[in-house]
Amino acid sequence: MAKINLRPWREEQRQERQKEYVTALAVVFALALGLWWLVSGAVGAAISDQQSRNDYLERQGASLDKKINEIRELRTKREQLLDRMRLIQDLQGNRPVIVRVFDELARVMPEELFFKQITAKGTNFTLKGRAASNEQISQLMRNFDQSPWFINPNLLNVQSNKGGYNSFDMLVGQTRPVLGEDK
């Protein structure tokens, strides 16, 4: 009789293939899990490195901002000091000017004319005074015109008083003479 194999060889082969499939699936799953772990670790390390770089840049930026603010403060202080120095130099340079202005006021005054009040606002003077006649007031205006220290005399008001004197109000501007023009 012919040999008949009663063993379920197909079933064994199927089980063998299923074992190989499960083993291959487990190996692939383990490899995928290992690969995922490596990739996530590398990405995590890259993110951590980038975060530390960002933190470093932020610290350096904050440090530079602080230095920039210090430089701005120093520049502001420098400008303030320079302004003070200019003001002091101007005051030192202008100190003899007021003496010269009052000296020139005395020079331009004609006889029988005197000032009751002199008010200065910037480079403009308001003069109030008395004169024996209108001729002295006219002479005062001509003298202001000829003076290198004064410009633009402007007579505001003239009033005749009981004592024979004329009261007057006048505006005159102050200037600095050009070198060589000073009397």
Exposure of 144 by Cβ count < 10 A (0-12 exposed, 13-18 middle, 19+ buried)?
A: buried
pLDDT per position as a tens digit, 100-159: 888 888 888 888 888 889 888 888 889 999 988 888 888 888 898 888 888 888 888 888
> What is the band of 17 on the pLDDT scale with cuts at 50, 70, 90?
very high
Q: Which residues contact 151 (CB under 8 A, 6 or more apart)?
A: 144, 172, 173, 174, 175
Say which DSSP state 163 is in.
Answer: T
Architecture of domain 109-174: 2-Layer Sandwich (3.30)
* Contact criterion met (CB below 8 Å) for 118 and 98: no
pLDDT of the residue at 2: 65
Residue with tokens 């040999």: 3
Residue with tokens 């505006």: 171
The pTM score is 0.49
Tokens of 16: 């063998």
* Contact criterion met (CB below 8 Å) for 165 and 128: no
pLDDT of the residue at 156: 87
Q: Is the pLDDT of residue 29 over 90?
A: yes
> What is the band of 31 on the pLDDT scale with cuts at 50, 70, 90?
very high
